[in-house]
Structure 1
Amino acid sequence: MDQLRDVACRLSEPGKGILASDESTGTIGKRLEKAGLNNTEDIRKAYREQFYTAGIGCSISGAILYKETLYQTSSQDVPFVDCLTRQAVLPGIKVDQGLVPVEGCEGESSTRGLDRLEADCKSYRQQGARFCKWRAALRIGIGTPSQKAIGINAQQLAQYAAVAQACDLVPVVEPEILIDGDHGIHRSSAVSQEVLQACIAQLWRHNVDLEATLLKPMMVMPGADAQSKASPEDVSCATLDALRRCVPPAVPGIMFLSGGLSEEEATVYLNSINKHAIEHNARHWALSFSFGRALQASVLKLWVAEREGKASPGKAKEMASAVAAANAAASLGRYQGPHPSITSGDASLRETYRGWQTDV
């Protein structure tokens, strides 16, 4: 177990975060097709290569891959796993099999994949994965999330985490509370605390080593359709209050998901959380990121522009490095802006962000 704790500590290293590049073939296909590209394996692989060979090791501690990507190689015939490890980036893998309805709970879901999880985890570990991720999704609405849905998802997350650790993988536990809805921040806070408490309780009951486990929650914020928006300060206060009340400091890292936020919003909120935590001596865990779209949206646009001859070669990789560095700075409360997504990922900004990461 000491080896797993070491991996968890490496993933939550100060000034670094996790790249969530684990979209399923269908999900990444929708984004590629929206950008005017065909959803083929060659195109998916070429797009992923922009990240895995972009020199992101200064800002990224781990990358979550989809099962297809775990077994692929770069255009130079180097396994993607090796591309990452050469940059001191730990390879991870998404292990859940997607969402299914909860019987008797309209509009609510649980996650499938437990029946084949042990065999999958052993195979992924042999391929070079060092950690894994399982996502549950809970929706705030009238009467939701129900106690049944909260309980089922918390139990599944704990069962997954126990199997992962038994297979020598660090589990990233993701109880996502969806941003959809018109609920306010107080409702979001109450639900977040209820869900986190249920998850931690189940992790204890299943003998999961919390020191070898990472948590991937959503920041506490109003629903996307709420009448009243929240400031970064509101989000940071509500988020830290929920974590302080529910998550033991034995958990080494809280790696926030971006959950539909824009690239700039995700960075600004993360920075505010860390500044607030530092000012109030409340950094009981690494407070970092495990972003997907918030690390990728601008990269995809530039990559498509490169393919069309509308952007210089290498611009997409430059953007990947710059956005990662901006969020790494935010994980220390040192982000100042402007955000790379609105400055074309200028190389001078990338070096500035890296400068903010020094003296950790």
Structure 2
Amino acid sequence: MSMSEMMTQMADKGGFIAALDQSGGSTPGALKLYGIPESAYSNEEEMFALMHEMRARIITAPCFSGDKVIGAILFERTMDGEIQGVPTPRYLWRERGVVPFVKIDKGLEAENDGVRLMKPMPGLDDLLARAAGLGVFGTKERSVIRLPSETGIAAIVRQQFEVGEQVRKHGLVPILEPEVLIDSPDKKKAEQMLHDAIAAEIEKLPSDARIMLKLTIPEVAGLYDNLARDERIVRVVALSGGYPLDDACERLSHNRLMIASFSRALIGDLRHEMDEKQFDDTLAIAVNKIYKASVDKV
């Protein structure tokens, strides 16, 4: 798979990134929303098999193609799995024209100083080497900010860029995701602090570095536009953060240099019991709304 072709798509093509990376902790909730109760599986293997079936159903849907969905973030088990007998990353790029990413974080530490850092990632180099071998383009790693704490946010950003450097050494493009919670008591202030801390770290990067940012849709529209213009930033993408689909799309449409990377807002109306036409039509409505908010700006 051509990294240069995928880079061109990620940097220049209109569209959005689908976040299909629910991990072990969030999978039961995602399956329940989809219409599969916990009583439907008896162990983790059965749970992840059902989740893989859901993701494969989404990826093979007619509307899920590089025309509008330019990238997809996968859970590690999804990356290691297959769709129609083809490794998932290869299927995404060759059959759907969608650039594959993989989630690499192992969850969050307990809150300290208003933030939640990422847990240690033992075996990360092995995972990154495996991802590169499967033709994955990049990674995603998430941490969380609740309060506008300068020291806490500095720690979050420092950790994100350190992990990003490890990712880049494997020839992959990291998506750094320091999420500001939408129910933060001072979201606007936290976002400004985050902006300033990220800008300072970007200035330390070599000119040939290429990274991406995944950020909460800001209270001040266009807050991150100057970061998006930096040659070292491939793209700035937005997480839905719990906003309903229409609300998330409305907010995103006011941020000219952000595209979507939605999860719940993308798949929240899909149900296991839908027939194929209902499923495809429902997914297409979400895809079209998110695509429009990503390319047609107010």
Give the TM interval when normalised to the shorter protein. 0.7 to 0.9
* CA distance in 1 between partners of 2:49 and 2:276 (Å): 19
Q: Which residue of 2 aligns with 1:47?
A: 54
Deviations 1:192-219, CA, capped at 9 Å, x for gaps: 1211221232244354845x21111111
Give the structure 2 partner of residue 268 of structure 1: 250
Going from structure 1 to structure 2, the CA distance change for 1:44 and 1:115 (only over 3 Å counts) comes to closer
Of 325-334 and 156-165, more deviation after overlay is shown by 325-334
**1:345-360 alignment runs, 5 A limit:** none
Indicate the residue corresponding to 2:279 in structure 1.
Answer: 316
2:213 aligned with 1:215? yes
Aligned to 1:148: 151
Query: What is the rounded CA distance, in whole Å, between the counterparts of 1:256 and 1:135 in structure 2?
Result: 13
How far, CA to CA, are the matches of 1:247 and 1:13 in structure 2?
12
CA contact (8 A) 1:4 1:165 kept: no
**Partner of residue 224, structure 2:** 243
Quote the residue 2:44 is aligned against. Answer: none
| Equivalence map 1:93-132=2 (5 Å) | 93-101=102-110, 105=112, 108-132=115-139
The 2-side partners of 1:178 and 1:208 are apart by: 31
Aligned-partner SS, 1:272: coil
> Identity of counterpart residues, as a percentage?
22
| 1:149-208 Cα deviation digits (max 9, x unpaired) | 11211111111111111101111111110012444xxxx333212112212322443548
The separation in 2 between residues aligned to 1:71 and 1:127, in whole angstroms, is 8
Determine the structure 2 residue equivalent to 1:295.
Answer: 266
**Aligned partner of residue 276 in structure 2, secondary structure:** coil
* Aligned residue pair count: 285
Corresponding residue SS for 2:281: helix
Answer yes or no: is the 8 Å Cα contact 1:288–1:331 preserved in 2. yes
- Partner SS for 1:220: coil
Gaps of 5+ in 1: 222-237, 275-285, 307-311, 336-360
RMSD: 2.4
- Off by >6 Å, runs of 4+ in structure 1: none
Structure 2 residue 215 is matched with structure 1 residue 176: no
- For 1:328, the equivalent position in structure 2 comes to 291
Given that residues 10 and 234 in structure 2 are in contact (C-alpha distance below 8 angstroms), is that contact kept between their aligned partners in structure 1?
Answer: no
Query: Which region of structure 1 is more displaced relative to structure 2, 105-114 or 191-200?
Result: 105-114
Distance 1:215 1:5, change over 3 A: farther
Q: Verify the 8 A CA contact 1:133 1:174 in the aligned structure 2.
A: yes
Check 1:206–1:96 CA distance in 2 against 1; reply closer, same or farther (3 A cut). Answer: farther
User: Higher helix fraction: Structure 1 or Structure 2?
Assistant: 1
Distance 1:106 1:182, change over 3 A: closer
SS in 2 for 1:331: helix
Distance 1:118 1:171 in 2: 13
2:295 partner amino acid: L
Cα displacement string for residues 26-80 of structure 1 (whole angstroms, at most 9, x for unaligned residues): 2021221353433523311111112111131211111000001111123x32332
Equivalent position amino acid for 2:175 in 1: V
Structure 2: state its 5+ residue gaps. 42-46
Could you tell me how far apart the structure 1 residues matched to 2:180 and 2:125 are?
26
Report the residue type matching 2:116 in the other structure. S
Report if the CA contact (8 A) 1:50-1:320 is conserved: no
Using the size of structure 1 for normalisation, the TM-score is 0.72
Q: Separation in 2 of the partners of 1:208 and 1:163?
A: 17
Aligned residue runs from structure 1 range 24-35, under 5 A: 24-34=23-33, 35=35
For 1:196, the aligned partner's letter is H
In structure 2, C-alpha distance between the alignment counterparts of 1:314 and 1:66, rounded to whole Å: 26
Q: Is the 8 A contact 1:67 1:94 kept in 2?
A: yes
Asked whether the 8 Å contact 1:101–1:109 carries over to 2, the reply is yes
